[in-house]
């Protein structure tokens, strides 16, 4: 099986001055994940590495760069899933951790549970030797600014819900195993303790070697209502291609609950899709040593992996 990785940096509205950062961020993440796959590494390691790269990039709403809750704090959600045995680990409302996706993997591999939340997740992180960092280190100037603006009496909270909300990755490795990973800071000015789709298996992501792997982005509550990540894999089980399945699932979410978002998916045969119903979604994929990426509908830039690495 030829390895494939697909990543997204969030569906929504990406401002002009942040487009280039979003493009370079997703391509960097895809190349890092593909490098692991190319060397014979597994899909789980690849998606974890790709998402970690975006958590460390302040252009994205995950890790450093996460949006703030109503009290001006960062609370993050993440999930990782192994398509080989349907094992999964997730964390929600976690604070003061640089890379929630790494903690989610520890939940999967070091506990009998699938999801740890808030204080319990932080206690587990401490027990596992995961460094705690000051919450301030995760807050960017832009996140603080948007939080403050949303507190103003004449602000429109709906406008901020259009901002990109998640990062994610899906991959298939040489052995034919698939995996997914999704991480987010959630919604700007959300209630303390709010948990969206990203930590929820079947909504924020799903992976099954019998079908493929998916990761979602967009309005979390809408995706939870339709169990978006699992829904699109169901459509693939019924014979749809990844593109058809993604479009069908997104259209159902839009018509049934009025939700917008985006998805990335890779099938167990190595076919992939990156589709969205929002104005934009940053995405990138590497297959057959060829990198492709874009932000707008119909926008596809292509280069060889060698050229991409050289330019970086």
Distance separating alpha carbons of residues 293 and 8, to the nearest angstrom: 10
166 annotated active-site: yes
Alpha-helical (H) ranges within 161-291 are 220-226, 228-237, 242-257
Ramachandran angles phi, psi of 179, nearest 5° = -155, 160
Minimal CA–CA distance to 91: which of 129, 101, 8?
101
Q: Would the annotation count 197 as a binding residue?
A: yes
Q: How far apart are CA 55 and CA 9, in angstroms?
A: 10
83 labeled part of a ligand binding site: no
Token readout for 23 is 């493009």
Residue 8 annotated in ligand binding? no
Q: How far apart are CA 52 and CA 134, in angstroms?
A: 18
Find the catalytic residue in 27, 140, 166, 184.
166
What would the two tokens of residue 251 be? 């259209």
- 196: annotated binding-site residue? yes
State the alpha helices, DSSP H only, in the chain.
Answer: 16-38, 43-55, 100-110, 118-127, 141-151, 157-160, 220-226, 228-237, 242-257, 305-311
What count of Cα atoms within 13 Å lies in the side-chain half-sphere of residue 112? 0
Q: Is 265 annotated as a binding residue?
A: no
The response to whether 208 counts as a known ligand-binding position is no
Q: Was 194 annotated as part of a binding site?
A: yes
Q: Check if the beta carbon of residue 102 is closer than 8 Å to that of residue 131.
A: no
**Is 220 annotated as contributing to ligand binding?**
yes
> What are the residue numbers of the active site?
166
Q: Which residues are annotated as a binding site for substrate?
A: 194-197, 217-220
Q: Which residues are annotated as a binding site?
A: 194-197, 217-220
């Amino acid at each position: 099986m030829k390895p494939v990785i697909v990543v997204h940096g969030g569906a929504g509205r990406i401002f002009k001055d942040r487009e280039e950062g979003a493009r370079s961020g997703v391509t960097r993440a895809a190349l890092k994940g593909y490098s692991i796959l190319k060397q014979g590494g597994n899909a789980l390691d690849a998606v974890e590495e790709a998402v970690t790269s975006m958590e460390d990039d302040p252009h994205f709403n995950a890790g450093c760069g996460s949006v703030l809750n109503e009290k001006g704090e960062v609370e993050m959600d993440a999930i990782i899933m192994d398509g080989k045995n349907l094992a999964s680990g997730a964390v929600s409302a976690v604070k003061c951790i640089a890379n929630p996706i790494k903690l989610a993997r520890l939940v999967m591999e070091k506990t009998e549970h699938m999801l740890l939340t808030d204080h319990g997740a932080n206690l587990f992180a401490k027990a596992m030797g995961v460094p705690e960092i000051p919450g301030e280190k995760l807050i960017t100037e832009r996140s603080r600014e948007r939080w403050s603006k949303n507190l103003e009496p004449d602000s429109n909270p709906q406008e901020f819900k259009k901002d990109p909300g998640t990062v994610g990755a899906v991959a298939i490795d040489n052995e034919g195993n698939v995996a997914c990973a999704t991480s987010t800071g959630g919604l700007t000015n959300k209630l303390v303790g709010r948990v969206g789709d990203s930590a929820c298996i079947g909504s924020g992501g799903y992976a099954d070697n019998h079908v493929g792997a998916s990761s979602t982005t967009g309005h979390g509550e809408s995706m939870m209502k339709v169990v978006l990540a699992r829904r699109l894999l169901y459509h693939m089980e019924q014979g749809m291609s990844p593109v058809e399945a993604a479009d069908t699932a997104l259209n159902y979410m839009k018509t049934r609950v009025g939700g917008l978002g985006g998805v990335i998916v890779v099938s167990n045969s190595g076919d992939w899709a990156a589709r969205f119903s929002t104005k934009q979604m940053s995405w990138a994929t590497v297959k057959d040593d060829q990198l492709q990426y874009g932000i707008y509908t119909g926008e596809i830039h292509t280069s060889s992996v060698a050229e991409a690495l050289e330019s970086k």
